[in-house]
Amino acid sequence: MQYRAGEEEQQAQSKKALKKQQKEAEKAAKKAEKQAKLAAEQQEADEDDFAKDRYGICPMVQSQQKLDRALVRVQDLTPEKAEQQIWVRARIHTSRAKGKQCFLVLRHQQFTVQALLAVGDRASKQMVKFAANLTKESIIDVEAVVKKVEQKIESCSQQDVELHVERIFVISQSEARLPLQLEDAVRPEGEGDEEGRATVNQDTRLDNRVIDLRTTTSQAIFRLQSGVCQLFRDTLINKGFVEIQTPKIISAASEGGANVFTVSYFKTSAYLAQSPQLYKQMCICADFDKVFCVGPVFRAEDSNTHRHLTEFVGLDIEMAFNYHYHEVIDSITDTMVQIFKGLRDRFQTEIQMVNKQYPSEPFKFLEPTLRLEYKEAVAMLKAAGVEMGDEEDLSTPNEKLLGRLVKDKYDTDFYVLDKYPLAVRPFYTMPDPNNPKYSNSYDMFMRGEEILSGAQRVHDAQLLTERAMHHGIDLEKIKAYIDSFRYGAPPHAGGGIGLERVTMLYLGLHNVRQTSMFPRDPKRLTP
């Protein structure tokens, strides 16, 4: 009996297995049928796809061939080009399919243009579908006819034309998931919150800087910054200055003090230069008369503020003068005024672009530049209710307040503060000949924030030694510096400007990281 029951169970099991096999066979047959059908459809589609040579993904460009094909820049797409057939290379900024049409916005640098694909004698259904499925930020080549539009395209920089696409080829495909959306990254502050739309926080931007730098705002900021450097160089070269290059690895801290980075240097230690100070002065002692340099400056300050970086670009100036250090102040302020004028006249597009996301008042300056004495500034602050001593250094809030007071009284965002108390300046600062409590030193301010610190330097070895001892500096460590002045040194003065700060304050931005391409601060060493 038992044996029979076991047999029945076995039979039931084999029936089950058989059924399972049958089901799987049916499933496989269905799958094969479906695949065959898809392949047939694809083949049919390929055969039907009269436009299949007009689109696709190009093989990787490995410089296989030299194409005699001129590419037109997006910014040059104007009504003058209407009805011309052209090639353009750009990124896909946005795309949306609508029935038998696909609208693309193509972007190159800070410029955008609308492009249209429509099913017709030039584009097949498959071609439109291909275009609609391309990932944002992919780089494509398109052949298109430039068409004038009746109604301005408000969402693009090229508002008077659109492209009617006839060919479209992918040069470099972007991954579908972007770490941040460009439209979120350019949304004006506050606007996103009201409409519940996303905005991108600073760390996300800086972690994905390559994409953040593609935004119209970033493109404008760094093009304008490049303009600051060019205007600085051109103006000084016209004034007879010589550009110099100075070492960044040095044997002793250039400014004295603890805020210096130590690096290992073979069997000993060296430091990263906090300023090209010593070398600028050596060049003056070597009869170059007027020098400037543009290069990195390192500060090991653990300051996590909106305006401090541990590495920034210094625009440094040093010049010999005849009888009074105000000759140098005049040279520097005139250089700054030439920069401000050049930015105003040549970079309006960029200024407007940044203003869209970060609105601010246009930057105001006077000619000649306003120069106030430190005592006057203290009097203005005291009159405004600030309690401070005559020889006390300005705190950041007081600098800001002074900026507002000066703007109200003189209507300028740029001014010089002259004759600082000697006690708050470095050892190499020349004391004021008429009042030993003050010095021949000055700061320059933009929108109430300091952008330049400078002074007449002590050019006499004896006085320099005394000043260094007064500051408790180890003379052995600055021997080379002091020795530079033993063989006849012209009277000279200079100063150092922070490029990122100038860019930030000119544009009225609120964080120096926005104007540093790959910022370095105490918490950030990448990318």
Residues 6 or more apart whose CB falls under 8 angstroms from that of 171 comprise 58, 61, 89, 139, 140, 141
- Is residue 205 flagged as an active site residue? no
Using only C-alpha atoms, what is the Rg of the chain?
Answer: 33
Q: Does 467 qualify as catalytic in the annotation?
A: no
> Closest by alpha carbon to 256, among 469, 485, 25, 513?
469
**Choosing from 450, 457, 467, 516, which is the catalytic residue?**
450
Residue 453 annotated to the active site: yes
Catalytic option among 299, 447, 457, 467 = 299
pLDDT digits (tens), the chain, 527 positions: 555 666 666 666 677 778 878 888 788 778 877 777 776 666 655 667 898 999 999 999 999 999 999 999 999 999 999 999 999 999 999 999 988 999 999 999 999 999 999 999 989 999 999 999 999 999 999 999 999 999 999 999 999 999 999 999 999 999 999 999 999 999 987 776 666 788 899 999 999 999 999 999 999 999 999 999 999 999 999 999 999 999 999 987 655 566 899 999 999 999 999 999 989 999 999 999 999 999 999 999 998 999 899 999 999 999 999 999 999 999 999 999 999 999 999 999 999 999 999 999 999 999 999 999 999 999 999 999 999 998 899 999 999 999 999 999 999 999 999 999 999 999 999 999 999 999 999 999 999 999 999 999 999 999 999 999 999 888 988 898 899 999 999 999 999 999 999 999 999 999 999 999 999 999 999 99
Whether 501 is a known active-site residue: answer: yes
**Which residue in 333, 350, 321 sits closest to 446, CA to CA?**
333
Which of 301, 327, 391, 449 is an active site residue?
301
Pairwise CA distance, residues 398 & 443, whole Å:
14
Question: Is 299 known to be catalytic?
Answer: yes
List 122, 167, 187, 307, catalytic entry: 307
Instruction: Catalytic residue, from 326, 453, 520, 524: name it.
Output: 453
Distance CA 383, CA 51 (A): 78
Structure tokens at 110: 């800070």
The active-site residue, picked from 209, 308, 326, 344, is: 308
Please say if 307 is a catalytic residue. Answer: yes
Strand partners, 295: 314
Q: What stretches of 239-325 show up as alpha helix (H) in DSSP?
A: 277-285
